[in-house]
Structure 1
Amino acid sequence: MNYITRGGVTVGLILLAYHLVTWWPGRKTLMKDPVKHASRLLPFLASWAYGCLTTLGVGGAVGWISGAILGLSNWLGDVALVWGVGGDGGQSAARATFLPLSGPGLGIVLILTAVFAAAVKKASEDEAGVLKRGAWCGVTLGTSAGVAGFAAVPLALAANWLGDNTYGRL
């Protein structure tokens, strides 16, 4: 199972805060057309959910890449905490209820990987950056014990259910 450090959680929260600050259109503008502006969060949210799913017991190339991203994020965040602000790194509290994906759920993650790769390839440079940051944020926060980590359980249940109903009907 992948683990997360305080530094890794910090990196994930930085990515989330960065996206929210760059998205924020201002109160007046948001109040004029809230649906339009809220819909601009959907690509980040979808790629966040995908990144979170890749940390849930996924093996192979997808799991290796996800684990490498998580390890690099842990290291970068721990270094920033220790050398940047004089804090300490160390392992954070991991999610207490780890729900791995079933075989059909893993099939759904593989399909989502192809969809994610196509979306990144098709997107403009700015849009691709949003998708990549969203997935990176999902990888780092998907294993945390906080609110973002609790979202991993419903995501895994949904992927397993979708996989069971997709592959069970073939």
Structure 2
Amino acid sequence: MTVVTYGGVTIGLLVLAWHIADWWPGLKSLRSKPAQHAGALLPFLLAWSYGVLVTLGIGGLIGWAARTALWISNWLGDVALVWGVGGQAGQSAGRVEYLPLTQTGGGIVLILTAVMIVLTRKTRYGSDLKRGVWCGLCLGTSAGIAGFAAAPIAVAANWLGDSLYGVVGGVAA
């Protein structure tokens, strides 16, 4: 597993701030139609959850792609911190211990990967989804709120996989 650095967390927070700034409808509009504007954040939030999920010890091609994206984000963030603001690079002090996915949870990740690929190409929310996945990859193994979200997301994927595979094929987990 690739460990997130301060630079990777910075990139994740930057993507989050970028998305919120892009989404922000203005206070007057937000007060008049709060549900509509909150609903506009759902594609990003779902993609963020997927990004967190694929950092939880997934192997194969999907895991390699996730680790590579995190490694690149760590490197870009570290370069930005050192050369951009004169800071220091290094591993993030806080790291979350995650709940590994079961075999059926891994099957759910594969299904979700196919769905995410189709959705990023076929919907108008493609950029929201891409930013959400990137943000989730960067923040999924960090401590804090993002790290605490990893365990419930893994439990949900494992439960969904156990339920789905149990119903469809009678496979015991």
Q: Do both proteins adopt the same fold according to a TM-score greater than 0.5, normalized to the shorter chain? A: yes
What's the counterpart of residue 155 of structure 2? Answer: 157
**CA deviation after TM superposition for structure 1 residue 94, in Å:** 4.5
Measure the CA separation in 2 of the matches of 1:138 and 1:117.
Answer: 16
Is the contact made by 1:4 and 1:94 (CA closer than 8 Å) also made in structure 2? no
The number of aligned residues is 168
What value does the CA root-mean-square deviation take over the aligned residues?
Answer: 0.9
Measure the CA separation in 1 of the matches of 2:54 and 2:118.
Answer: 17
Secondary structure of the residue aligned to 1:151 is helix
Is 1:143 matched with 2:141?
A: yes
After superposition, residues 1-170 of structure 1 pair within 5 angstroms as 1-124=1-124, 127-169=125-167, 170=169
Q: Which runs of 5+ in 2 are unaligned?
A: none
**Letter matched to residue 20 of structure 1:** I
TM-score, normalised relative to structure 1: 0.96
Is the contact made by 1:73 and 1:140 (CA closer than 8 Å) also made in structure 2? yes
TM-score, normalised relative to structure 2: 0.94
Deviations 1:15-55 (A, max 9, x none): 00000011010111001010000000000001000111010
Q: Which runs of 5+ in 1 are unaligned?
A: none
Secondary structure of the residue aligned to 1:4 is coil
Percent identity of paired positions between Structure 1 and Structure 2: 60
Is the contact made by 1:6 and 1:77 (CA closer than 8 Å) also made in structure 2? yes
